[in-house]
Homo-oligomer: A and B are copies of this chain.
């Protein structure tokens, strides 16, 4: 069976190149990469906070009282591993740590803004008129 890749018509906006033209969730697909970056509970909140500048561990704990130390350091480690956050440790006593976004981490700002905008749009569309089947009369192709 020839794969459907050959015959399928591709939306140039949604899948401009081979990496996006996948038929399974592939780690190399840009969409998956971006989603992985912001995935996990608390992650977007942490990113939002780090967008305001470097923060310390305890500082973050104070800002997010319901976030346990374990999960916080887990999130921060993941963000480090993904190259989105960098750490700086000041020796001495007490120990000081600063977490800050890398360039890659800062690149997520646009996405966060878009997530917010889309979320608001969804809230508008789904709570305003609770009419089932929102589809308007004649519009499929713009």
Residues on A facing B (Cβ under 8 Å): 4, 9, 11, 13-16, 20, 22-25, 29-35, 37-38, 41-42, 44-45, 48, 51-53, 62-67, 82-83, 86, 100, 102-104, 107-123, 125-126, 132-136, 140
Contact = CB atoms under 8 A, between A and B. Distances in A.
A107 B116 contact: no
Contacts of A45: 22-25
A29 to B, nearest CB: 7
Contacts of A34: 115-116, 118-119, 122
Given A23-B45, A30-B119, A118-B107, A113 B13 contact: yes
Contacts of A9: 52
Q: How many copies does the complex hold?
A: 2
Nearest to A42: B25
A120 B104 CA distance: 11
B24 A134 contact: no
Contact of A122 (B4, B33, B44, B53): B33
Given A34-B122, A116-B16, A116-B30, A52 B11 contact: yes
A103 B136 CA distance: 8
A43 B103 CA distance: 28
Contacts of A136: 103
